[in-house]
């Protein structure tokens, strides 16, 4: 396939909201405009996993300021696991700890809770 055909497939996947498939086609095509749009979507949605795919999936890729912005947006959206990953990538340890605390609070349940799926009822 030519780069233009790959980019066209990426556009089709993006229109269908299949952002990870779109990212793969845009990367193979070297279609920076498409990757930039996906990066913006990741930032708006606080999606650290998509952002990582878009910037190459390698630790240290992407600007620390972008990762911090993504982490802040993820915190606003209460996507705490994404925030933890974003702040880890940016090297912002203080905010990573805050996001981790929020995540821990979200998943902490009293042992006697009916919501605890691991509790054995006798």
Break the chain into its structural domains and give their ranges: 3-107
Residue 10 has a pLDDT of 96
**Percent of the chain, pLDDT > 90?**
74
8 A C-beta contact, residue 24 and residue 32 = no
pLDDT tens readout for residues 44-91: 999 999 999 998 755 557 889 999 999 999 999 999 999 999 999 999
Rounded mean pLDDT, 97-115 = 77
- Taking each helix axis from N to C terminus, what angle separates 64-76 and 80-90, rounded to the nearest 10 degrees? 160
Coil, helix or strand at residue 83? helix
């Amino acid at each position: 396939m030519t780069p233009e055909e790959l980019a066209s497939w990426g556009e089709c996947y993006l229109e269908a909201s299949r952002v990870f498939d779109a990212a793969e086609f845009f990367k193979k095509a070297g279609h920076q405009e498409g990757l930039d749009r996906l990066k913006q979507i990741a930032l708006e949605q606080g999606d650290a996993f998509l952002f990582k795919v878009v910037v190459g999936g390698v630790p240290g890729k992407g600007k620390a300021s972008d990762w911090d912005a993504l982490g802040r947006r993820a915190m606003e959206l209460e996507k705490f696991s994404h925030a933890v990953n974003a702040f880890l990538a940016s090297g912002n340890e203080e905010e990573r700890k805050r996001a981790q605390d929020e995540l821990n609070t979200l998943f902490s349940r009293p042992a006697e809770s009916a919501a605890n799926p691991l509790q054995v009822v006798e």
